[in-house]
Structure 1
Amino acid sequence: MNLASQETKTRGENTYSFEEFLAKRENLDWYLDEPFLQKVMKKFTGHHHYEELHEKLRCFSPTVSIKWNKLAEKIARPEARPYMLHYDAFNHRIDRIVRPMEVHQLESEVFGEGLFSSKMPAWESLVKRMLIHQIGEAGVTCPLTCTHGLIALLDQYPNEEYPELRDILMHTKEGVNGEFAIGAQFMSEIQGGSDLPANVLEAVPDGKYYRLFGNKFFCSAAHADYSVVTAKIAGTDKVSTFIVPSWLPGDKEKEKRNGYEINRIKWKLGTAELPTAEIQYKGALAYPIGPKDKGIAVAVGIVLTLSRLEIGIACAGFMLRASREANLYGDFRTVFGKKINDYPLAASKLKRIENAAQRTTAAAFKIYDLFLKLEKPLNPGINADQPIEIRKRLFNLRELILLQKICATNEGAEILREAISVFAGHGVMEEFSALPRIFRDVVVNEQWEGPRNLLLTQIFRDLQRVAEWYPPADFVESVLEGASPETIRLFSEKLKELLQSPVLGEVSKESMEAAVEWDAFCDSFFKTFQKVALTEIG
């Protein structure tokens, strides 16, 4: 080779490589390489249980960190998104939701863990779910959450009149012949997503069963085997709750749906791997569950409460991953002769991301700990017939779940965006990092199960309703136990003042200013709770 040809070959050649970063990232163990998560787990499970749980998670973590993460990346590609096949070759209406092979594999393996089985300890299930959430939606995490809600509903309201419900509980909770069924919740209608009293879907009695007629407009996990559906019994104005099988016995193999049609799959910002559909009920067989005149309390108090609780757990997982990968890249990438994390602006951003991830994780564990320690924490109602101290703790849990849902999702979007910016241009490249996909999932989670304004309103009304037996100052002192006396005093005074302000009044300059203050107060109050939780970890 002569000199000229050598120059042509090497001129302009760039030997820069990401191999060092990729090798480290691809070999990360999301549990073993997350010492803070282990520290929090040890705090809440105790030394004896921690050793046993640690070993189980050490064995589990590589599966989610490597195998399931790679499957999630394939599932997330645009060409792999679910689509509808309404008819077969013989003009039979089948409404098949076509999903990629990888999602079926992932779904089978994730649900096969039996995360809600009676054999699975609660803390083991929690940490496994927090790890699973770190792959993003992947078509499985929303169905997991919905299945949890359906199982809790069936556990809370056993009914021997409907043996089908017992079979559904076994199929979803313990599995049948190694197969675990999937649950969903279909409550939203076009006239109002969170406004369940506005439901018009009609449930018509048919012997001891019911037939559903009408439309549900936002139905996530539309591929599920069973769904929790809210509807009004014909001739009444009360919303009731029903369990609806997607197929009657023997019909799944024939692809003959249970008296309903899937109109279309939604095109949405995030959780794109998850089929969210519009469903038209044309006489679907439904089993009533819970008190027939308390469907809203049943649906919100059990199903939505668990979903909101899970969103907080998911946000902790999202932020832990964002922090881990942003720190890894900050320590790898060199810009203008220095590593990214050697610049004060970048180092401070990385520290903020890490702090938010740890605060959110510590608070999620602390709230879940309260949830586990309370007997029957779901659907007790504010005025439940309980001793006053239990009522106060139940109320604390209720409000903390609402606060966590709105604050963790809001900050989660901020933190994911910050983490993406550490990667600069590479941060928005979908094949370079999972963070853009997870960012969109956080934004969707912020809207699901009650958007911010709705839950801010609910918290305000709740605190007003209980003020006679649970004064604002007592509530603040109880929730922020461990904070400084001055911090508790300031929050108590501000809360008392805000509850007298026109936050929920007619629109005016004064009411809008009060509403802005209320929003800021809730955010600051919950972050203070998180800081206390983090301090308790040590």
Structure 2
Amino acid sequence: MNLASQENKTRGENPYTFEKFVLERENLDWYRDDVFLRKVVQKYTSERFDQVEKALIAFSPMVSKKMNKLAEQAARPENRPYMLHFDAFNKRIDRVVRPMETLQLEQLVFGEGLFASKMEPWESFVKRLLIHQLGEAGITCPLTCTHGLIALLDEFPDEDLPELQEILLHTKEGIAGEFAIGAQFMSEIQGGSDLPANLLEAVPNGKRYHLYGNKFFCSVAHADYAVVTAKISGTDKVSTFIVPSWLPGNKEQEKRNGFEINRIKWKMGTAELPTGEFQYNGAIAYPIGPKDRGIAVAVGIVLTLSRLEIGIACAGFMLRAFREASLYSDFRTVFGKKVKDYPLSASKLKSIENAAQRTTAGAFKIYNLFLELEKPLNPGINSDQPLETRKQLFNLRELVLLQKIGTTKEGAEVLREAISIFGGHGVMEEFSSLPRIFRDIVVNEQWEGPRNLLLTQIYRDLQRVADWYPAEDFVKNVLDGASRETVERFSMQLADLLQRPVLGEVSEASIEAAEEWDAFCESFFKAYQSVALQEIV
């Protein structure tokens, strides 16, 4: 080859490559390489640390590599779930079609038996935290809903309905190695989070019921069993039911249990998760819990666990955001310097790291309180337990709500900042997982009660307990470990806000009070997280 032809061949070629960054990212072990996470695990597992860490070190490479690759492939637009309403012979089957990668990921995740009796609680917690770093991926919402269904069945055993025992075994321990998947269908077109507005009708038939009506927002449309809220005929009280998707022997025939799936919704995020609209035409349902306390049962157990899990998910999202943004900032050179060596970038990375560590420490601290309390789910505010126990249960109740609204809002901010570290590449779907996780966290902000609803709930809760749990005591107990000045400042703010028209008629005064209440809850929860972080570092 002469010199001219060689010059022509190389002209226009760019030798730049991302290979070093990609290789380092692919070789990361999400648990083993996270010094901070391992430190938190050691604090909370204490004498069980060696046992738990051994399990985590064995599990983490599968999440970091195999599961991550499956999640990335499942997230491609051409792999979104869709409905196949009829088979080739015009039989209605309502098959939810999902990609092979999602099915493989589902088998790996559920096959861990994360809620089985033999699984140590902290091992399950940290494994779920690692799994959440995949994003929703079509599997973390099903996992969370299954947890809620199991807790409901554990709380209200019913020997008169052997089907419920079979469902509990299938979801919790697995049958012949297969773990069933749970869902929760509560929202209706007229109500959303307003469960008392439910119109789905439950018609008694012996010990069982038949459901008639519509559920408008049903995530995990492919589930084996669902927790469904409905009103028993002739009553105005919402009750809770367990509804199998198929009756025994019918799953293989794709014969649904008296319901149809009208369509799969097109969502901003959690796109791998099939969310549908269901029409019930006499589906067999099994009652669970007191028939006149369906909302308390659904919210106190199922939604509490979901809200708790969202906080864990946000910790996972932020840990991944910091890890990958930090790695890229150390790789990428612009204008002769690495990204991390610019003060503006360095300040963003420092802020992302602090948020990720605060959120993780806070999630562990809240879960630790959850594990320490006997029967932490569904106690209600006015229980007959000793006063100090009631206070601790109340602390947990409010912390779960504060964590849900606090971490989803900050999580979206953190993901956006992390994306900015990547520059233009940050919004490239095949380059980074962060755009997908950003959309997931925005959806999580709306799941299980949007921000305004939960801010209202917290305010009302504090008003309801004022006679036996003064605002000053609540702040002092929740911020145990904070400086005296911090406790006094938040105590004064809370006492003042509880006298303001936060929930009053719309006026300049009530709007100002509402804005201050929102800001108070955000800063108060960050103070709690900071205490949790101080206990680690």
Same fold (TM over 0.5): yes
User: Which residue in the other structure is 1:397 paired with?
Assistant: 396
Q: Secondary structure at the match of 1:537?
A: coil
**Residues of 2 paired with 1:404 and 1:160: CA distance?**
37
The code of the aligned residue for 2:7 comes to: E
**Residues of 2 paired with 1:333 and 1:137: CA distance?**
28
Question: How far off its partner does 1:208 sit?
Answer: 1.4
* Alignment root-mean-square deviation, CA: 0.5
Q: Percent identity?
A: 77
User: Which residue in the other structure is 1:174 paired with?
Assistant: 173
User: Which residue in the other structure is 1:382 paired with?
Assistant: 381
**Residues of 2 paired with 1:476 and 1:436: CA distance?**
37
Q: Can you give the 5+ residue segments of structure 2 that lack an aligned partner in the other structure?
A: none
**Residues of 1 paired with 2:271 and 2:374: CA distance?**
37
Give the 4+ runs in structure 1 shifted more than 3 A: none
The code of the aligned residue for 1:405 comes to: K
**Residues of 1 paired with 2:193 and 2:218: CA distance?**
13
**Residues of 2 paired with 1:29 and 1:192: CA distance?**
44
Question: How far off its partner does 1:325 sit?
Answer: 0.4
**Residues of 2 paired with 1:56 and 1:311: CA distance?**
23
1:45 lines up with 2:45 in the alignment:
yes
**Residues of 2 paired with 1:200 and 1:13: CA distance?**
65
User: Which residue in the other structure is 1:336 paired with?
Assistant: 335
User: Which residue in the other structure is 2:284 paired with?
Assistant: 285
User: Which residue in the other structure is 1:494 paired with?
Assistant: 493
The code of the aligned residue for 2:501 comes to: P
Question: How far off its partner does 1:12 sit?
Answer: 2.3
The code of the aligned residue for 1:523 comes to: E
Question: How far off its partner does 1:274 sit?
Answer: 0.4
User: Which residue in the other structure is 1:5 paired with?
Assistant: 5
User: Which residue in the other structure is 1:372 paired with?
Assistant: 371
Question: How far off its partner does 1:138 sit?
Answer: 1.3
**Residues of 2 paired with 1:65 and 1:49: CA distance?**
24
1:96 lines up with 2:69 in the alignment:
no
The code of the aligned residue for 1:155 comes to: D
Name the TM-score, length of structure 1 as normaliser: 0.99
Write the mapping of 1:61-460 to structure 2, written as runs, cut at 5 A.
Answer: 61-460=60-459
**Residues of 2 paired with 1:119 and 1:55: CA distance?**
15
State which drifts further: 144-153 or 103-112: 103-112
The code of the aligned residue for 1:353 comes to: I
Q: Secondary structure at the match of 2:535?
A: helix
CA shift digits 1:169-226 (9 cap, x unpaired): 0000000000000000000000111100000000001121100000000000010000
CA shift digits 1:83-106 (9 cap, x unpaired): 000001111100000111111111
The code of the aligned residue for 2:41 comes to: M
User: Which residue in the other structure is 1:529 paired with?
Assistant: 528
Q: Secondary structure at the match of 2:531?
A: helix
Q: Secondary structure at the match of 1:170?
A: helix
**Residues of 2 paired with 1:485 and 1:208: CA distance?**
57
User: Which residue in the other structure is 1:16 paired with?
Assistant: 16
**Residues of 2 paired with 1:207 and 1:339: CA distance?**
71
**Residues of 2 paired with 1:100 and 1:348: CA distance?**
40
**Residues of 2 paired with 1:134 and 1:43: CA distance?**
21
Q: Secondary structure at the match of 1:250?
A: coil
The code of the aligned residue for 2:129 comes to: M
Question: How far off its partner does 1:23 sit?
Answer: 0.7
Q: Secondary structure at the match of 2:95?
A: strand
The code of the aligned residue for 1:5 comes to: S
**Residues of 2 paired with 1:208 and 1:479: CA distance?**
44
User: Which residue in the other structure is 2:504 paired with?
Assistant: 505
Q: Secondary structure at the match of 1:417?
A: helix
Question: How far off its partner does 1:55 sit?
Answer: 1.0
The code of the aligned residue for 2:101 comes to: E
The code of the aligned residue for 2:110 comes to: F
Question: How far off its partner does 1:6 sit?
Answer: 1.9
**Residues of 2 paired with 1:120 and 1:494: CA distance?**
43
Question: How far off its partner does 1:286 sit?
Answer: 0.2
**Residues of 2 paired with 1:65 and 1:490: CA distance?**
43
1:29 lines up with 2:29 in the alignment:
yes
Name the TM-score, length of structure 2 as normaliser: 1.00
* Count of aligned pairs: 537
**Residues of 2 paired with 1:385 and 1:65: CA distance?**
46
**Residues of 2 paired with 1:247 and 1:379: CA distance?**
29
Q: Secondary structure at the match of 1:70?
A: helix
**Residues of 2 paired with 1:344 and 1:154: CA distance?**
53
Question: How far off its partner does 1:468 sit?
Answer: 0.7
**Residues of 2 paired with 1:2 and 1:30: CA distance?**
51
Question: How far off its partner does 1:4 sit?
Answer: 1.9
CA shift digits 1:423-469 (9 cap, x unpaired): 00000000000000000000000000000000000000000000110
Q: Secondary structure at the match of 2:524?
A: helix
Q: Secondary structure at the match of 2:323?
A: helix
Question: How far off its partner does 1:3 sit?
Answer: 2.3
Question: How far off its partner does 1:2 sit?
Answer: 2.0
1:60 lines up with 2:59 in the alignment:
yes
Question: How far off its partner does 1:303 sit?
Answer: 0.1
